């Protein structure tokens, strides 16, 4: 006795219409990793509608396809969430960087700008204690126009400041000056490293990059990572 049409034996090379439909539906299901939930459910419904009633889809196979979709959906949703978080951090970072405008920052450089309001400031880094430390300030042609005498100092970082007044009592011309340090210790004379403060005049975000450039007044651009300290 024949229970269903599927029990008929077809000639070689001839396939049942419902078998072809099932294979096409299965191929569509495998492509659901790039489809949304609505499309996936539509394809799953199509497969169930065209399956052989006498040979229904195994529950394990059905659950496996659902699990595959859930995994892909979870990864997609997590990726979207991470993208939003990254965008949020990027926006916050940009706002914080813009907040640097108008502030003084410390950079590892020996050229500093003399301004009317704050003069010229910097830091000398002593590796050892020194009996005498001097900061020499030179103009564009290399002439020393002023010396800041810090006297005896222990090892470490020490600040220096020049208000722009020359030894003659006159005010020096505003602008950039070269800074160098001379220290006398028990082994002789050394030239410690100096760092200077500069005022942030603007920021620039490099297109298609996470790099941020900071413009110092009268000095040009430096990288954001070159800033060592922020001061009001």
Q: What is the pLDDT of residues 140-161, one digit of tens each?
A: 999 999 999 999 999 999 999 9
Cα gap 130→190, rounded to integer Å: 9
CB neighbour list of residue 55: distance below 8 Å, 6 or more residues apart: 6
> Is 170 buried (19+), middle (13-18) or exposed (0-12) by CB count in 10 A?
exposed
Helix, strand or coil, per DSSP, at residue 78 = helix
pLDDT tens per residue across span 45-68: 666 555 555 554 554 565 566 666
Q: Which CATH number fits domain 104-231: 1.20.120.330, 3.30.559.10, 2.60.40.4070, 3.10.20.30?
A: 2.60.40.4070
Which residue carries 């590796």 as its tokens? 127
Q: Tell me the pLDDT band of 2, cut-offs 50, 70 and 90.
A: very low
Query: In this structure, what is the dihedral angle of CA atoms 168, 169, 175, 180, given to the nearest 10 degrees?
Result: 60
Q: What is the reported pLDDT for 99? A: 82
Highest-confidence segment of 35-44, 88-97, 122-131, 210-219: 122-131
Mean pLDDT of the chain: 77
* Number of helices followed by number of strands (H, E) in the chain: 3, 12
In terms of phi and psi (left: phi > 0; alpha: psi -120 to 50; beta: otherwise), the region of 111 is beta
Please list the residues that pair with 181 across neighbouring strands. Answer: 135
Q: What is the dihedral of CA 95, 96, 99, 105, to 10 degrees?
A: -150
**pTM here?**
0.58
| Tokens encoding 223 | 């990288």
Q: Residue 31: is its pLDDT beyond 90?
A: no
Distance CA 94, CA 214 (A): 12
Q: Where in the chain is the domain with CATH 2.60.40.4070?
A: 104-231
Q: What is the pLDDT of residue 66?
A: 60
């Amino acid at each position: 006795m024949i229970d269903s049409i599927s029990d008929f034996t077809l000639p070689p090379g001839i396939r049942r219409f419902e078998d072809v439909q099932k294979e096409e539906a299965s191929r569509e299901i495998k492509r659901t990793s790039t489809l949304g939930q609505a499309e996936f459910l539509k394809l799953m419904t199509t497969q169930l509608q065209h399956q052989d009633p006498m040979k229904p889809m195994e529950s394990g196979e059905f659950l496996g396809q659902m699990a595959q979709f859930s995994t892909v959906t979870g990864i997609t949703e997590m990726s979207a969430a991470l993208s939003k978080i990254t965008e949020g951090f990027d926006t916050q970072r940009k706002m914080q960087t813009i907040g640097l405008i108008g502030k003084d920052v410390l950079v590892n450089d020996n050229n500093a700008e003399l301004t009317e309001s704050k003069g010229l400031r910097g830091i000398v880094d002593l590796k050892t204690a020194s009996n005498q430390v001097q900061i020499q300030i030179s103009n564009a042609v290399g002439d020393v126009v002023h010396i800041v005498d810090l006297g005896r100092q222990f090892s470490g970082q020490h600040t220096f400041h020049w208000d722009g007044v020359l030894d003659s009592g006159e005010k020096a011309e505003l602008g950039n000056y070269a800074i160098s340090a001379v220290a006398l210790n028990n082994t002789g004379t050394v030239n410690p490293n100096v760092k200077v403060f500069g005022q942030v005049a603007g920021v620039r975000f490099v297109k298609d990059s996470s790099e941020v450039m900071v413009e110092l007044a009268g000095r040009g651009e430096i990288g954001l990572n070159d800033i060592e300290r922020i001061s009001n």
